[in-house]
Amino acid sequence: MTLQHVDILFQLIVFLFAISIHESAHAWTADRRGDPTARLLGRVTLNPIKHIDPVGTILLPLIAMLSHFPAIGWAKPTPVNPRNFRNPVLDDVLTSVAGPVSNFLVATGALILLVIISLTSHNGHEIVRIMPFSYRMGILDLGSSPLIP
Catalytic residues: 23
Q: Which helix (H) or strand (E) holds 82?
A: none
Mind giving me the DSSP string for 5-58? HHHHHHHHHHHHHHHHHHHHHHHHHHHHTT--HHHHTT-SS--GGGG--IIIII
| Separation CA 4–CA 115 (nearest Å) | 22
Q: Which of 90, 75, 111 is nearest to 35 (CA)?
A: 90
